[in-house]
Each structure stands twice: as C-alpha cells, then as structure tokens.
Amino acid sequence: MASQEQQNHPESLSQDNCWVGLTSSPLEIQSVIDRVRSPQAGAIVLFAGTTRDSFEGKTVVDLRYEAYAPLALRSMLDIARKAKERHGLKGVAMVHRLGVVPVGEESILIAVSSPHRQAAWRAGEEALEECKARVEVWKREEFADGEGVWRANRDGQAGERIG
C-alpha cells in the first residue's frame, strides 16, 4: 500500500537534498517545509503561489495546469540543484500542482533552507522565476463568463491560439 506521501506526490525526483514533485492533490505546506528542514539551517523560506479570484478585471473561477511531467521534473530538479549550489543552501523542495486549482488554493510551493536568511530569500525568488521561465507546465485560466485562456506559466503572458 502506498504511503500518504507517495499518494500526494506520485511523480517526484530527488538528489543532493533537492526534491521536486508534480501532483494533482492539494499541496501540503508542512510536508514541503519538512523536506528542507536541517539543523544547520537558520532560515527556511517558503513561497506559496495561490490562485487569485481575478485577472485584468475578469473573475477567475479556477486555474488548470498541464505538464510534460518527465521533462518538467528534470527541469525543476536542475533549477533546485543550481539554486542550492549558487546560494549555499541546505535543501530545496518544490512541488507544482496539476489539474484544477480552485481560487484560494496553492498551485506551487517552493521551500529553501539556508544557514542565513538573505541567501534563502534570494534563492527562493530565483527558483520561482526560473520555474516560471523554464518548467514545462502550462496553465489555463477559466473565467466566470465562460471564457478561458491558455497562458505561459508566467504572470500575464497569454498563449497563442493554434488554428
């Protein structure tokens, strides 16, 4: 029988105190923080990306995420490992939710631990920006008026309609 952790993160990779995952289940903040906890770390920084209720004046019903999982996981692990090395981190964990993410729920969690807070702050933000720029995850915003739009997984960049 699968553990609760395996059920929540059916697709994941880990290496060198870096863990990344994709799941269709609601994200669990404490489990992500626990993945980076270390007695050598004086700081843990967590970013939680949450579905907001509006975009450019339109009411958002939910977001829907899709990914090319094998490549997305490898990209996420590469980002995590580079952040860990560049900032002297003790651990990095990131998990992205797939499928429908209702308003008020998290779509991504990124946690980093470091001996000192400044490195953790910088690393967390850099990891998020790299994820948005590089990871093979796409989102569709569904609006209350019945319309929806695919977007690159970046703030505000609309996707292109394909014939």
Whether 97 has a binding-site annotation, put simply, is: no
Contact (Cβ atoms closer than 8 angstroms) between residue 80 and residue 53? no
Enclosing H/E stretch for 33: helix 29-36
Whether 82 has a binding-site annotation, put simply, is: no
Residue 37: count other Cβ atoms within 10 Å of its Cβ: 13
Whether 9 has a binding-site annotation, put simply, is: no
Whether 147 has a binding-site annotation, put simply, is: no
Whether 56 has a binding-site annotation, put simply, is: no
Whether 58 has a binding-site annotation, put simply, is: no
- Which residue intervals of 37-162 are DSSP H helices? 69-87, 117-134
Q: Which residues are annotated as a binding site for substrate?
A: 116-117, 132, 139-141
Q: Which residues are annotated as a binding site?
A: 116-117, 132, 139-141
